[in-house]
A and B are shown apart, each in its own frame.
Chain A
Amino acid sequence: MSGAKDTWRKPPFIANPLLRYGLYGAVLIYFVATMATLPIDWDRVADGMTRAQRIFNGAFPPNFERSGLLIDGFLESLKIAILATVGGVALSVPLAFMAAGNIAIKPVYFLGRAIIIVARSFHPVIVAIIFVKAVGFGPFAGALTLVVYSIGFVAKLLAERIEEIDFGQVEAMRSAGAGFIATLVYAVLPQIMPRLVGLGIYQLDSNLRASAVVGIVGAGGIGATLANAFGRYDYDFALAITMVIVGVILISEAVSGFVRKRIA
């Protein structure tokens, strides 16, 4: 077996060497140009460090004296999260069927996809600002925001799950002469149920986290409490709130992870 080659190299990801090195070069040049043109004032960074120092000094030790306010804020966040999850998932199911290419007819499919894309295209904070303008400060704006946020996530992933179903079961229902709704409920829903429950639990956890963020722009819950504490320079109370948020989110992630593992 003479003449057999004894060297081998993994083929490059981009086969064309000109394109490959050109791309590397372009990224490097762009990065250098960005650093050169963005106004980064190192003096201000230094100033910021002392300000941060002052905030942290004011924050220690964390102040739990107003725990009543803290608990109220959290309960409100929890209500927002639960309401938004139930509403969001309930709206996501029909939307997901609309946005599944193997179930819906073309015009319905495009409508469903369009709604999901709109729901996904804005960060919850931006949606919250719009809803606070529309329905005023408070938890209702927060709940509406998170409904939109839930739809963007749950409906999209659920629609993708529907597109992956074993279509043979649908065929079996069709061959028995089943109607459209009965076919969906018998042949599709049982297949996507585990994913639906998993997404719902994950979304509850995710909405709880997001409710703290959207509260900062006035959509109620613990975020509003946190924003108020910052506004009044109560850094010690703000730290207490932040620590509780981290704690609650750790717990909710652990719980939702456990539940999702059990139903999988």
Chain B
Amino acid sequence: MRGRLALVRKTIMLKISKLTKRYGSGDPVLKELDLTVEGDQLTSVIGSSGAGKSTLLRCINRLVEPTSGSIDLNGTEFTTLNRRDLRAARRRIGMVFQGFNLIDRLTVMENVQSGRLGYISTWAALTRRYPRDDIRHAYELMERVGIAHYANKRADELSGGERQRVGVVRALMQRPEILLADEPTASLDPKTSEQIMSLLRDLASELKLPVIINIHNVTEAKEYSDRIVGMRYGRIIFDDLPAKLTTAEMDEIYAGVPAMDRAAVGAAAGAEA
């Protein structure tokens, strides 16, 4: 089964360069940020709240519109796509959310198949006539993560860990080239959280899929990632192997607003007051 799940592909590469995001007229949330992710690496992005982790992830598939910079996934420049092309391109990026964002009142199968909405016709979506390939793929993936017996259950009947598995399967249904996970374990208890992290790590290598995870739990990040990116105030200030993340580096990442930006923040606060 594993063989069928894995797609034979050339090495995948996401290249973000000089990415800037500014909300309104304030100080940018992302400041000319560069990041390249490739292969089947699991990359964890850590940093305090407001460091720009979530904005970074959402800029990649343009759920948040970047102000400037470039996002290139295997040769497709995302920042200049028109609406129609963007919709097609988003199918190539799977996303998993902190709050799962499942459709509570629909069945697990409908939730899983909603990952295919970018591929199937609106009519097929409305009438729930999913292609046989998609149904088989869904059962395989659900089997893999252990939720196949829930196919006909309503999503809100599942526990947190099971719900996040549905979220992961939905994202994988897109047959994505990269998987983004925005604090996928923040709503889960520690044990379930570890199960989801190890699932994501295993899937990354099985499917040769690069995974980027925003995460608050540094211990988990160090345990499950191949690479850790530390963000502080819209910039990447650490990017290395988990073993290289020392206490000193941690203090630096979680130290609040860096000295070089303090003047700007003060000025912004002054302007608001």
A interface vs B, CB < 8 Å? 166, 168-169, 171-179, 181-183, 185-187, 190-191, 193
Contacts and interface: CB of A to CB of B under 8 A. Distances in A.
Given A177-B117, A179-B122, A172 B95 contact: yes
Interface of B: 61, 63, 87-91, 93-95, 97, 99, 101-106, 110, 114-119, 122, 125-126, 167, 170-171, 174
B170 A171 contact: no
Nearest to B105: A190
A104 to B, nearest CB: 16
Given A168-B99, A182-B122, A183-B117, A174 B170 contact: no
Given A179-B117, A190-B103, A172 B170 contact: yes
A264 to B, nearest CB: 13
Contacts of A178: 87, 114, 117-118, 125
B106 A190 contact: yes
B126 A185 contact: yes
A115 B97 CA distance: 37
B90 A177 contact: yes
The 6 closest A-B pairs by CB, nearest first: A177-B118, A178-B117, A177-B91, A168-B101, A172-B101, A177-B90
A136 B105 CA distance: 45
Contacts of A173: 114, 117
B90 A181 contact: no
Among A175, A176, A181, A185, residue most surrounded by chain B Cβ atoms (within 10 Å): A175
Contacts of A183: 117
A193 B154 CA distance: 15
Contacts of B89: 177
Contacts of A169: 101-103
Given A174-B63, A176-B170, 8 more contacts: A173-B114, A175-B61, A175-B94, A176-B91, A178-B114, A178-B118, A186-B110, A190-B104
A7 B51 CA distance: 47
A162 B171 CA distance: 25
Given A177-B88, A179-B87, A190-B103, A172 B125 contact: no
Nearest to A170: B101
A174 B58 CA distance: 11
Nearest to B180: A175
Nearest to A194: B105
Among A172, A187, A191, A193, residue most surrounded by chain B Cβ atoms (within 10 Å): A172
